[in-house]
Amino acid sequence: MKFKFVIIGLLCSTLHTGYTQGDSGVNYRDFPLIITLQFHSFSMPFKNIKSNFSNIGIGIGTEVSYNRKSRGVQQFHLIWYRNATMGNGLLAYSQATWRPSLGSNVYTELKLGAGYLLSKRPTESFKQKNGEWVSVGKKGKGMFTIPLGLSVGYENELEQTHVSPFASYQFLVLTDYNKSIPVVPQTLIQLGNRIHFKD
């Protein structure tokens, strides 16, 4: 319950300060290196948070600004996660990201995008063919996904690089999961760093 109040408070603060504050004072550079640690769960948002930390993954990405400033960017990510219960996944996605400043180099992000998930079955599966059950192995399937995210981070200008550690919570809506349940929810908790290298 406390976690929900923190998220709601952060969102309200973001909406308020986004219209009153400009970009942070750091110089923005396109195509930074974004490295993330992922924690995956097959769950509704803010439900069973502890289960995320049983399924770990890694990710890499970058971003391009809309106007050479850091407030509005398009991000691109490729992540892999391990989930022994639901099956491992490889997710490629892009998100339009709004990044208002909260002051003192602290910022939040609101993200919305689209992607494609290749999800592998955790165990051998079977299907009926000519009245008999035949194995289809552990081969998974691809699913279109809509990721919606909320982040908080800190801008840190160093001598040779501009680094920005952050934490994100992503809610994923997956389509075409199966005939009985066409749409399913998943979540990602992400801890990462965005690194802009100086010229």
Q: Give me the torsion for CA of 38, 42, 48, 51, rounded to 10°.
A: -50
| Structural domain boundaries enclosing 130 | 29-197
**Residue 13 within a domain:** no
Domain-embedded: residue 119: yes
Examine residue 185 and state whether it is found in any structural domain, yes or no.
yes
* Cβ contact 75:59 at 8 Å: no
Of all residues in the chain, the percent with pLDDT exceeding 70 is 78
- For residue 4, being part of any structural domain is answered with no
Query: Is 103 a member of any domain?
Result: yes
- 86 token code pair: 């639901």
For residue 46, the model assigns a pLDDT of: 83
Give the C-alpha separation, 23 to 37, whole Å.
26
Provide the number of structural domains found in the chain.
Answer: 1
User: Confidence band (pLDDT; 50, 70, 90) for 15?
Assistant: very low
CATH number of the domain that residue 97 is part of: 2.40.160.20
pTM, 2 dp: 0.79
d(CA 180, CA 170): 25
- CA dist 65 and 29 (Å) reads 8
Over range 13-41, report the average pLDDT.
Answer: 68
136 vs 96, which has greater pLDDT? 96
